[in-house]
Amino acid sequence: MLYFFLAIVVIAIFLFITNIKIVPQASAFVTERLGAYNQTWSVGLHIKIPFIDRVAKIVSLKEQVVDFKPQPVITKDNVTMQIDTVVFFQITDPKLFTYGVDSPLSAIENLTATTLRNIIGELELDQTLTSRDLINTKMRSILDEATDPWGIKVNRVELKNILPPREIQDSMERQMKAERERRESILRAEGEKRSAILVAEGEKESEILRAEAQRVAHIKEAEGEAQAILEVQKAIAEGIKMINEAKPSEAVVALKSLEAFEKIADGKATKIIIPSEIQGLAGLATSLKELMTDKTE
């Protein structure tokens, strides 16, 4: 009897320990009692009733990322391409996630594929390749609304790869190459144009500086000549002033005038008119010269 009681105690302790559940962070336990939903356990320590309660599903509340395989889609201009998508979602209601839909990930994948086909079917090839943000926004809005009854919130949808047919890719590569060559030609032409403009501007500035230098040289030369003439006039004025201060006699003045006429007539003049006063003085000078010659003989 004692052993039986001890066995019952051991079994009770074992059942109690095994029915203690600890829910970790960012997780939730959906429990059922007798096959019906009972409650959702959050983080912490919980105890379930043996043989009556059971943990139906353990749900992660972290944001999850699902990369779906490429899906064939057809654009508005009948181009078939392969597009794979990446969906970022988070479970907000563990109860709805557990009982709302069977195989939630498969449901999201199929919903993503059909939504993508509907959106791409309204766009042409060029729009599809250049409108990723628009497509991502539309898909996120549609998927988030559709998965709300499943306790799932779609945070972001991204188109991972867009793979058009090989011939379309070759055509696009040739187009891109032609565009790069065109831009290169434009840049080269603009560079040559800029270089020619800079050379012309340099030559223009050089001519301007050269002309300015010549003008300044002519001005300096004229100023020098003017200064020389001014100095000569000052010297003449000083000489006249000194002569006036010395008060020379009429004979001296006449002799100076005669010397000046001699310089004028120094083989360069054919006819010279001499004033009468100087003629008399010249005759007197000639007589004195002859008298001095006779005495010497």
Tens-place pLDDT, residues 75-133 = 888 888 899 899 999 999 999 999 988 888 899 999 999 999 999 999 888 888 888 88
Average pLDDT, integer, range 32-39: 91
Neighbour count for residue 281 (Cβ, 10 Å): 19
3-class secondary structure per residue, 55-99: EEEEEECCCEEEECCCEEEECCCCCEEEEEEEEEEEECCHHHHHH
Domain with CATH 3.30.479.30 in the chain: 64-164
CATH 1.10.287.1080 fits 64-164, yes or no: no
Q: What is the pLDDT of residue 271?
A: 54
Task: Using the predicted structure, report yes or no on whether residue 181 has a pLDDT greater than 80.
Answer: yes
Average pLDDT, integer, range 30-56: 90
Q: What is the pLDDT of residue 253?
A: 57
Q: What is the pLDDT of residue 156?
A: 93
Contact 86, 160 (CB under 8 A): yes
Question: Which residue did the predictor score with more confidence, 292 or 72?
Answer: 72
Task: Using the predicted structure, report yes or no on whether residue 138 has a pLDDT greater than 80.
Answer: yes
Task: Using the predicted structure, report yes or no on whether residue 284 has a pLDDT greater than 50.
Answer: no
